[in-house]
Structure 1
């Protein structure tokens, strides 16, 4: 697996949970966010300042974005990021879009995560 270019996004995020079927408003455009409505629950990931009251909130996440886009048939892209984090004892919340992957770690683990990813050969930049 080639080295990946990752960006540590500047915002601090919250992972929010609602009961299944609950309406959830997507956050403002311009920053990374995620809204998943599944049979068992609705999950929203958004900048911490947009975390909606009334949801269960797990705050204090930082987000890494994989800079490259790969064809869906290329195996191991996300695993090449998750394995070094797991070896470093860092818990994650991962998600994907059509074009790339995002991996969130608790803010207190961000520096340790950067070190683990760089030690694995990846390049990590910071978004300003």
Structure 2
């Protein structure tokens, strides 16, 4: 399966807050953000520059958007992207929306990620 992905501009962060906490305003700004609440934590993905210095976070992620939308009945969409990245030794953080998927890779792994995806037959727009 050949897909088209777009490298989004800017760097992102994956932050962790205590469970049960209200969603902070800084977490919901920008073109791409995600907040997921679980009993023991609140995870936030947002532009790196928005995360306060006193929040536990891993900075330096780049986002690749899969061009969708994809029907829920389709299988293997995310695997067709994740498997080449796995084979290239690239760690990921994946997000899904109703229409599409996003894959975050470390900024230091972006060039290697793009090369691996292109080698697997995908189109990557930078």
TM-score (norm 2): 0.94
Q: Which residue number in structure 1 is paired with residue 28 of structure 2?
A: 27
Q: Aligned equivalents of 2:56 and 2:22: distance in 1?
A: 14
Residue 14 of structure 1: how far off its partner (Å): 0.6
Q: Aligned equivalents of 2:108 and 2:23: distance in 1?
A: 28
Question: RMSD value over aligned CA atoms?
Answer: 1.0
Deviations 1:50-74 (A, max 9, x none): 1134321100000000012111110
SS in 1 for 2:125: strand
Call closer, same or farther: CA 1:24–1:54 in 2, change over 3 Å: farther
Q: Which residue number in structure 1 is paired with residue 17 of structure 2?
A: 18
1:48 aligns with 2:55: no
TM-score (norm 1): 0.92
1:123 aligns with 2:99: no
SS in 2 for 1:110: helix
Unpaired stretches in structure 1, ≥5 consecutive residues: none
SS in 2 for 1:86: helix
**Corresponding pairs, count:** 124
SS in 2 for 1:83: helix
